[in-house]
Amino acid sequence: MTITSRPDADQGTFERLAVRGGSYVAGQWLTSSEEPLLAVHDPADGQLVTELPSAGAALTTAAVEAAAAAYPAWSALSAAERGVPLRRAHELLVERADELALVMTREQGKPLAEARSEVLWGAEYLLWYAEEIRRSQGVTVPGDGPGQRIEVRRRPRGVVACITPWNFPSAMLLRKLAPALAAGNTVVAKPAEQTPLSAIKIFEVLEDAGLPAGVANLVCGDPVVVGDALCGAPQVRHISFTGSTEVGRMLLARGAAQLKKVTVELGGVAPFIVFADADLELAVERLMAAKYANAGQSCVAPNRLLVQDEAAAEFTERLCARVSSLQVGRGTNEGTDVGPLIESAAVDKVRRHLADALAGGGRVLAGGTPPAGLDEGRFFTPTVVTDVARDALVLREETFGPLLPLEQFTDEPAALAAANASDSGLGAYVFTRDLGRTHRVAEALEYGMVAVNDASFGYVQAPFGGIKHSGDGREGGQDGLREYQDLQYLNINF
């Protein structure tokens, strides 16, 4: 079906957006529905981009049944055979990266170049896991008697439900689909209601890549209705979730009641620690990418900037110069560094954090003014504040926007105490030239991931994930594959 995009004031009229349907079940696209339409809006201006037929409980149940029916044949294929459509899907995503990037920017807002890199990054998971599954090995353990062998093997689990967020609508979905499918599971995916189009485009690719019908199914609809149907379905053995702590907690509880495996990747309040011996130019450079990409809407975006006293003046000067030079605007405009936030409620939260910081004695170092010529209900000027009270919201809660509080610290123990004073434990960053300190500090940080002199965690070969309230389970690397496999041991006697 062809969905008409509304004309755009700055850019002229966007091309018509052709998608094959609203949901994909048992190899069929759904083009009409009894359910209310799912509206997708452009975060830059709130205009309606499309309306899609949405999936309700009945279609979600049909998707689970399709996945269960496809499981025996898909799981019985060899690892090499399963790799064929996954590798082809990788190729198609690379070919269609520009098209998918534009779709993502229209529904999510991020700058086009970031959207394109995200499509390519997500695609890499398909290639990596298509190969890695061929190396998925078990072990043979000596038995107690001469004729006994104990063989430990890894096997797929069955139907996996993948529930994904809007901030990285392509990569978060592919990071789940690729290992789940490579391992031999079948899938029902539910993307965020704000960004279903990126998921639909990925499923078009899977269809064109020759993935057998029913192996991967997509349902776009109301989160509570679809979520309830997924949680209630006995065939769903595993729920893999990325999103808010609140929903993750609910899914963990519901999964526990039904003895489903639930893996959750939740939020973080990432500290970014700069020691006085660090390469300050490098630290600023990396901070810009980590904090202001995706307008700060990332679970590993630095939420607290901790700078050692001796370096504070120079670092602040360099940082403020860079932050003030960021271009805020539509993601489709050339030269935009920071796009709109996903919706007005997201802007309200950042504003609340800024107002609370200022009310508690904080002062603005950079930004802090409304975005010139832009809708201040949708865009937020990149801002740095300092002298923030210890109990300020911006230090305790995930801001998920382009606002950063700068704090000073005296020494290593003080930096560690500040960084570890959090329930979250996802990503942390350390900048130093001292190798001894690198090990001392990195190992003492209560975080699932620590980047030293770097600022990214999204590597296909590495286990992304957090500890404490930031989640349970890993995505990426060998550990990411194992999340989608059960162990079986065979006690063999001859």
Enumerate the active-site residues: 265, 299
User: Applying CB under 6 A, which of residues 119, 163, 183, 366 lies at the interface with ligand ADP?
Assistant: 163
Residue 190 near ligand ADP by CB under 6 A? yes
Residue 217 near ligand ADP by CB under 6 A? no
User: Applying CB under 6 A, which of residues 21, 165, 329, 425 lies at the interface with ligand ADP?
Assistant: 165
Nearer to ligand ADP, 199 or 455 (CB): 199
Residue 192 near ligand ADP by CB under 6 A? yes
Contact of 416 with 273, CB cutoff 8 Å:
no
Residue 164 near ligand ADP by CB under 6 A? yes
CA 29 to chain centre: 26
Please state whether beta strands 261-265 and 270-274 pair in parallel, antiparallel, or not at all (unpaired): unpaired
Contact of 146 with 223, CB cutoff 8 Å:
no
Q: Which stretch binds ligand ADP (CB under 6 A): 52-60, 86-94, 242-250, 408-416?
A: 242-250
The least CB distance from residue 466 to ligand ADP, in Å, is 15
User: Applying CB under 6 A, which of residues 244, 344, 438, 478 lies at the interface with ligand ADP?
Assistant: 244
List the one residue out of 227, 232, 248, 93 whose CA is nearest residue 171.
93
Q: Which stretch binds ligand ADP (CB under 6 A): 64-72, 121-129, 177-185, 190-198?
A: 190-198
The least CB distance from residue 145 to ligand ADP, in Å, is 50
Residue 361 near ligand ADP by CB under 6 A? no
CA distances from 16 to 4, 71, 92, 184 (A): 5, 36, 21, 36
Nearer to ligand ADP, 223 or 370 (CB): 223
Q: Which stretch binds ligand ADP (CB under 6 A): 159-167, 177-185, 380-388, 464-472?
A: 159-167
List the one residue out of 189, 194, 159 whose CA is nearest residue 174.
189
Contact of 415 with 434, CB cutoff 8 Å:
no
Q: Which stretch binds ligand ADP (CB under 6 A): 163-171, 207-215, 349-357, 450-458?
A: 163-171
Sign of CA dihedral 250, 238, 477, 127: negative
The least CB distance from residue 398 to ligand ADP, in Å, is 9
Nearer to ligand ADP, 200 or 278 (CB): 200
Write out the two tokens for 71: 């499981």
Residue 210 near ligand ADP by CB under 6 A? no
Which residues, 6+ apart, have CB-to-CB distance to 201 below 8 Å?
Answer: 19, 96, 99, 100, 103
Contact of 264 with 92, CB cutoff 8 Å:
no
Nearer to ligand ADP, 108 or 164 (CB): 164
Nearer to ligand ADP, 164 or 303 (CB): 164
The least CB distance from residue 264 to ligand ADP, in Å, is 10
User: Applying CB under 6 A, which of residues 223, 234, 370, 413 lies at the interface with ligand ADP?
Assistant: 223
Residue 225 near ligand ADP by CB under 6 A? no
The least CB distance from residue 199 to ligand ADP, in Å, is 10
Residue 103 near ligand ADP by CB under 6 A? no
Counting residues that bind ligand ADP (by CB under 6 A) gives: 13
Nearer to ligand ADP, 407 or 483 (CB): 483
The least CB distance from residue 178 to ligand ADP, in Å, is 18
User: Applying CB under 6 A, which of residues 243, 367, 402, 425 lies at the interface with ligand ADP?
Assistant: 243
Contact of 108 with 195, CB cutoff 8 Å:
yes
Binding mask 247-286 for ligand ADP (x = CB under 6 A): x---------------------------------------
Q: Which stretch binds ligand ADP (CB under 6 A): 66-74, 91-99, 158-166, 456-464?
A: 158-166
Nearer to ligand ADP, 297 or 336 (CB): 297
Residue 193 near ligand ADP by CB under 6 A? yes
**Which residue is listed with tokens 């802090």?**
368
Binding-site ranges for ligand ADP (CB under 6 A): 163-165, 190-193, 223-224, 227, 243-244, 247
